[in-house]
Amino acid sequence: MTALYLLDLVLVPAILLAACTAVGTRDRFAAVVSFIVYGLLLAIAWVRLGAVDVALAEAAIGAGLTGVLLLGALARMGRRADEAAAAGPPGRTLRLGAAALGAAVAAGIAAAVLALPEPAPQLSGAVAEALPALGLGNPVTGVLLAFRGYDTLLEAVVLLLALLGIWSLAPDPAWGGLPGLRHRARPEGVLAWLGRLLPPVGIVVGLYVFWVGADRPGGAFQAGTILAAVWILAVMSALVEPPAVRSLALRLALVAGPALFLAVGFAGLGLAGAFLGYPAAAGWAKPLILLVEAGLTLSIAATLALLVAGTPERAAG
């Protein structure tokens, strides 16, 4: 289809322009907005390449979380950043060092891409062959939850470790307390209205994305991100307070997914003869995978929401 190349002709320069602006501009706010636009354009690019699962993740992360995180950080760094700017630009050595390091990383990635054999090695044939045994329709879910289960389990744990890192920045008096500052909003205002209207819709969309993940693009990560985003909206609208990080219910939600995944993994040791294996008997794999996905959706939603909510800053009342 030749018209698709027309789209590429617009999309690719726009992505490059947004990326260069995000890195190159001296206006911090323009840089953040460029980065948000960059994420949106990447989501379109993934759709263009037919990778709808990735596009969904990019859309949810880019539109829902990254923008809120960066703009919130920008608002809070305000005065401190101005003081740093008044101290003068970083020295020549620092700038040259940063440029050299960046160029080295770019060169390394370029070398890796150029070194890929043609045609690229791939396992998609093997995945398509083994997929019917899982009872799933979406090969991406099959790879993430079964064929490449180790990676997904470790990724879920890495997210938890990142959250622990953020919590550990809390000052002693606030340890175990409420993350972030208290948000305010006029109770009958536009913001509070949006905060009441959108989360129910977002919960439905999130559960839908989780449920279709077995057979169509979607899944735990995308669904968890959507749920985290609408919860953060409710927090920003001052409708709910984030829970104290010492809360037992919160901690159970955070570990439910990885714990369930590990339990199913160890069960596989007995039932299928391999850690993270699924029983070969027909009809067992899909319910187990859905169970793990449900736990992961809950845990990823809680983890991402608290990552954005930030370090505990107020002692629990």
Partner 1 sequence: MMPDLLAGFAALVLLSVAAGLARVLRGPTAADRMMAAQLLGTGGIATVLLLAAALDMPAAVDVALVLALLAAFAAVAFVKGASPEGTGDPEEEA
Partner 2 sequence: MSAWDLFTLAAVAAGAFFFLAGTVGLLRFPDVFTRLHALTKADNLGLGLIVLGLLPRAEGVFGALKLVAVWLLALLAAATVAQLVARLARREGDAGA
Find the shortest distance in angstroms from Cβ 182 to partner 1: 7
Nearer to partner 1, 63 or 240 (CB): 63
| Bridge partners, 179 (sequence order) | 312
Q: Work out whether 250 is an interface residue with partner 1 (CB under 8 A).
A: no
Structural contact between residues 283 and 215, judged by C-beta atoms closer than 8 angstroms: no
The option from partner 2, partner 1, none interacting with 157 (CB < 5 to 8 A, set by class) reads none
Strand partners for 312 = 179
Q: Where are the alpha helices (DSSP H) in 25-66?
A: 28-48, 52-59
Give the CB-side neighbour count of residue 197, counting CA atoms within 13 A: 7
198 is a contact residue toward partner 1 (CB under 8 A): yes
What's the rounded Cα separation, in Å, for the pair 4 and 6? Answer: 5
Q: Which of 19, 74, 207, 272 binds partner 1 (CB under 8 A)?
A: 74
The answer to whether residue 301 forms part of the interface with partner 1 (CB under 8 A) is no
Report the C-alpha gap between 267 and 130 in whole angstroms: 21
The reply on whether position 280 binds partner 1 by CB under 8 A is no
Nearer to partner 1, 160 or 239 (CB): 239
Q: How would you classify the pairing of strands 312-314 and 178-179?
A: antiparallel
Element of type H or E holding 313: strand 312-314
Cα–Cα distance list, 235 to 185, 241, 273, 303 (Å): 10, 6, 46, 15
Q: According to the binding rule CB under 8 A, does residue 85 interact with partner 1?
A: no
Report the site for partner 1 in 130-189 (rule: CB under 8 A). Answer: 181-186, 189
**Distance from C-alpha of 121 to C-alpha of 25, rounded to nearest angstrom:** 39
> Tokens 């799933």 appear where?
136
The secondary element (H helix, E strand) that includes residue 264 is helix 248-271
| Distance, CA of 90 to CA of 26 (rounded, Å) | 13
Quick one: what does residue 291 bind among partner 2, partner 1, none, with the CB cut-off 5 to 8 Å set by partner type?
none
By the rule CB under 8 A, 80 interacts with partner 1? no
Query: Least separation, in Å, of the C-beta of 78 and partner 2?
Result: 15
Residues found near partner 2 in the complex (CB under 8 A): 190-191, 193-194, 197-198, 201
Smallest gap from residue 271 Cβ to partner 1 (A): 33
Least separation, in Å, of the C-beta of 190 and partner 2? 5
Residues binding partner 1: number (CB under 8 A) = 70
How many other CB atoms are there within 10 angstroms of residue 188's CB atom?
7
For residue 218, the minimal CB distance to partner 1 (Å) is 7
Q: Which residues bind partner 1 (CB under 8 A)?
A: 1-4, 6-7, 9-11, 14, 17-18, 21, 25, 27, 29-30, 33-34, 36-37, 40-41, 43-44, 47-48, 50, 52, 55-56, 59-60, 63-64, 67-68, 71-72, 74-76, 181-186, 189-192, 194, 198, 201-202, 205, 209, 212, 216-218, 222, 226, 229-230, 232-233, 236, 238
